[in-house]
A = this chain, B = another copy of it.
């Protein structure tokens, strides 16, 4: 399992935004939605071993987490508006103030109360990585291909100090994807490319030495 966790500093935890102006009315939920596409979709299929978590810290119901699982999600479409419509429907669901677990509202799409710690609990034994510009190059990272793993990254506002501190406490390893600071969805595409290459090498190795 490969998890991608996008922290939306102001991204709305309710379905209360306008489809005609997603960036301007959702606290930049559009960034998280584009990350869903990058993390889950291939040219003609879904990455069944991928899960995306959007940590939503904006609006009255925040913090909440939206979770989309490639293994169970149907009809994930690549365009931003379709993803926004899906998010809006699921976020409109009231999980109850006390609920502490993910509630699956649509097939493969769940919502929970809570912040990053809810995600950390949900990914269980996954190795944690933080994708950030200053981190050591992921191409040189030993064991990067080992699953389960979870890659945490910020939106256009980056990760705040408290989040960085918490990630440090739980042993998340910093990783950089390249020399320039790129959009979150591009960082995911680059990280998945490295993982795909390592998976392919491993399979090729198994084929050659049965």
Contact = CB atoms under 8 A, between A and B. Distances in A.
Interface string A38-63: 10011110000000000000000000
Determine chain A's interface SS by DSSP, over half rule: helix
Contact of A181 (B21, B31, B38, B42): B42
B22 A182 contact: no
A165 interface: no
A197 interface: yes
Interface residues of A, number: 38
Interface string A174-198: 0001111111011001101100110
B82 A181 contact: no
A181 B23 contact: no
Nearest to A23: B79
A200 interface: yes
Most chain B beta-carbon neighbours within 10 Å: one of A41, A42, A183, A189: A189
Identify the 10 closest CB pairs spanning chains A and B, nearest first: A179-B200, A43-B181, A186-B189, A189-B189, A80-B80, A30-B79, A190-B193, A178-B193, A23-B79, A180-B196
